[in-house]
Amino acid sequence: MKSLKVAPAKEFNLVIDNIAPDKSISHRSAIFSLLSDKPSTIYNYLQAEDTLNTLKIVQELGANVKKEGEKIVITPPKKLQEPTNCLDCGNSGTGMRIFCGFLAGVEGFFILTGDKYLKRRPMDRVTEPLREIGAKIDGREEGNKAPLAIRGDNVLKPFKYESSIASAQVKTAMILAGLRAKGESRYSEPELSRDHTERMLKGMGAEISTFFEKERYVVEVKPLNKPLEPLNITIPADPSSAFFFAVAGAIIPNSQVTLKNVTLNPTRIEAFKVLEKMGAKVEYRLKENRYEPIGDIVVKSAPLKGIEVKEKISWLIDELPALSIAMACANGVSRVRNAKELRVKESDRISSIVENLRKCGIEVKEFADGYEIKGGEIKKAKVNSFGDHRIAMSFLIAGLINGMEVEDVECIETSFPNFQEILAQISEVKSGD
């Protein structure tokens, strides 16, 4: 088990143009390329464990993946093939849930599996609605836990599904099932979750319409009557990865960080808005619009004040661990509520955040659906990542104040392999004992 030690940082002014490419868009670009009959071209695909696992699965389904310099070209097979191996999603809940929806309507037998963390995470949020429309899926705990076995078939019924949670993974799985169903389907969620799927599939020519009705976000999907157009996409930098360095820029006095070519999709930058409300200076510089608005984000340090966060939780779910570090540095009390989804991420993020902040001498109260943090001074401590990349990176950023040792940091490879290299431009980073 590898551990990392970070030393306190001095003021810095850093321009970062190599933030990891977006994980959500990378997964989708690989999987959606299978919906076309022509080669898709993807620039800046995320070369991290989660998305490389997805790419490998796409290959096992018969696609040809060719790396040509800066781009990858994915040529789909004439007919998707039944793989001889189990399909390993590694640590990725996104990969596993999206593939469930995709494979449910593809003829063949597929087994989806993953690492010990992924095998603990709930899958019934996708397996139940998919079974209701005729998908044959089974797994441990009656289909709730991986490994999952899918007997894919051309039998999916059109549906009207009202999801009780705002989850982009569930939405994507159901939209993909809807594309293969025998009629028009309708999916709705209580609040708009990240909408890369809708943007990308519409861009590829899918007949998808989206609107708000009775305060719910609705997606109507018509089944595919021909292959979609291929993707030609440059993956922007991942705002969830960029946000670690936004917090660093906000909490180290007299500092500034410029995060280049990040997606400015409103469903992804809410955490930057929260940081702004806490007092940090944040500027957005829109540069282009291709599938998504893309630009630079500049964050300048300032004294932070406590904040209450209880709305638009799905827009900041991945950034809450890093935001909790900003909250621990703020003046006053901060509160996060309505965030029980945090308990079923790569770790139980509520207990990971609470336990680690307490080790750093910060007063924290735990709730079933969130936590309360009393701002103070983050002390040097030895904390664990609980195998969760976002917990590992958040506490390395916390260490920029007074130093920190974080154990079990291999998980950073799942989303942000060059995180340590960038962190080392701000402060000294060493391997632990």
CB 173 within 8 A of CB 126: yes
Q: Say how many CA atoms lie within 13 Å of 253 toward its Cβ.
A: 1
Euclidean distance between CA atoms 175 and 197, whole angstroms = 8
Name the residues annotated as catalytic: 318
Burial class (CB in 10 A: 0-12, 13-18, 19+), 132: exposed
Q: How far is CA 399 from its chain centroid?
A: 24
Question: Closest CB to ligand S3P among 167 and 234?
Answer: 167
Tell the smallest beta-carbon distance from residue 92 to ligand S3P (Å): 9
Nearer to ligand S3P, 46 or 401 (CB): 46
Question: Distance between CA 219 and CA 162 in Å, rounded?
Answer: 10
**Residue whose tokens read 């007997």:** 151
Nearer to ligand S3P, 210 or 256 (CB): 210
Interface residue list for ligand S3P (CB under 6 A):
24, 94, 167-170, 172, 193-194, 314, 317-318, 341
| DSSP assignments along 162-222, one per residue | E-SS--HHHHHHHHHHHHTSSS-EEEEESS----HHHHHHHHTT--EEEEEETTEEEEEEP
Rounded Cα distance, 150 and 107, in Å: 10
Q: Which is nearer to ligand S3P, 192 or 400 (CB)?
A: 192
To ligand S3P, the closest distance from the beta carbon of 171 in angstroms equals: 8
Region at 340 (left for phi over 0; alpha for psi -120 to 50; beta for the rest): alpha
Minimum CB distance to ligand S3P smaller for 192 or for 330: 192
Q: Which is nearer to ligand S3P, 220 or 341 (CB)?
A: 341
CA distance 264 to 257: 16
The SS3 of residue 372 is: strand
- Cα–Cα dist 405/422, whole Å: 17
Residue 311, Cβ density class (10 Å: 0-12 exposed, 13-18 middle, ≥19 buried) = exposed
What is the residue-wise DSSP string for 240-279?
Answer: HHHHHHHHHHHHSTT-EEEEEEEE--TTT-HHHHHHHHTT
Look at the block and give the residue holding tokens 């849930």.
97
Phi, psi of 304, deg, nearest 5:
-100, 150
The tokens describing 153, both together, are: 């078939």
CB of 27 to ligand S3P, least distance (A): 6
CB of 98 to ligand S3P, least distance (A): 7
Q: Smallest distance, Å, CB 167 to ligand S3P?
A: 3
CB atoms within 10 A of CB 130: 30
Question: Shortest Cβ distance from residue 166 to ligand S3P (Å)?
Answer: 7
CB of 191 to ligand S3P, least distance (A): 10
If the CB atoms of residues 5 and 194 are measured against ligand S3P, the closer one turns out to be 194
CB of residue 415 vs ligand S3P: minimum separation in angstroms? 9
Residue type at 141?
A: E
Our CB check for ligand S3P shows the closer of 118 and 381 to be: 118
